[in-house]
Amino acid sequence: MEVINAIGRRKSAVARVYVSEGTGKITINKKDIDTYFPSAILQYVVRQPLNLLDVAEKYDIKVNLDGGGFTGQSQALRLAIARALVKINADDKKALKDQGFLTRDSRAVERKKPGQPKARRRFQFSKR
């Protein structure tokens, strides 16, 4: 099997994933997943598509992660891994889609408007 690549985005985070056959090692920006995401919850989020298909020990994954915070990065990585798994085996698409792993979460921060302190917050109104 050659190297399969995919991309995932969430908020301002971008994850580029390179999947090859191996022993289940996940390397993010040249660091191990346990070092990059110390939180067990974020590690669980990243491994969700792999655990769903029972292929966690079958592939080695190299990741370039850029932008955003740790939550957005972990969700971008989950999307990228799910997309790569679909490229490897198209039969897995239904299972991943039913769990919502192939849907790009398009929610992002709304821009700040001029003449206001925040995106929707207005300055206090004074009648007199």
Assess if residue 51 is contained within a domain.
Answer: yes
Residue 80: Cβ within 10 Å count: 28
Helices (H), the chain: 33-36, 40-52, 70-88, 93-99
In a domain, 107, yes or no: no
Q: Compute the average pLDDT of residues 36-48.
A: 94
- Residue 57 maps to which CATH number? 3.30.230.10
Q: Check whether 101 has a pLDDT greater than 80.
A: yes
Please tell me the total count of domains within the chain: 1
| pLDDT(94) > 80 | yes
- The range of the structural domain enclosing residue 51 comes to 4-99
Q: CB of 12 within 8 A of CB of 56?
A: no
Residue 120 lies in a domain: no
Residue 69 lies in a domain: yes
Q: Is the pLDDT at 1 greater than 90, yes or no?
A: no
Would you say residue 89 lies in a domain? yes
Confidence of residue 60 (pLDDT cuts 50, 70, 90): very high
User: In the chain, what percentage of residues exceed pLDDT 70?
Assistant: 100
Within a domain: 30: yes
Please give the pLDDT value at position 49: 94
Q: Residue 31's pLDDT is what?
A: 95
Supply the pTM of this predicted model. 0.91
Q: In terms of Cα–Cα distance, which of 113, 120, 121, 105 is closest to 12? A: 105
